[in-house]
Amino acid sequence: MTTTISAAADRMIGQLNASHAANVAAGLGSPALDDFHNLVVEMVAEAPDSKARMREIADRLASPRARSGRPAGGAR
């Protein structure tokens, strides 16, 4: 199955891929970062409105709950 993505989604995915590659090249890569990157790219690619989806992701990451200081993985 081939999915056609919008020009906006294509641009965002290109920017995400470039940023991810730069992080990896700087030695900041990890399997967890790869998984997160792949998830965000998949969510943007599959969204009917990629700009709105990216806004949702950014809002969640910026929320007080996301910045609560809890360790990765949601441990309490």
pLDDT digits (tens, 9 = 90+) for 20-74: 999 999 999 999 999 999 999 999 999 999 999 999 999 999 988 876 666 655 5
Query: pLDDT band for position 1 (50/70/90)?
Result: very low
| Residue 72, pLDDT score | 59
CA–CA distance, 27 with 32 (Å, rounded to integer): 14
| Alpha-helical runs (H) found in the chain | 7-25, 31-46, 50-62
Closest C-alpha to 9, from 59, 44, 42, 38? 44
| Residue 8, pLDDT score | 92
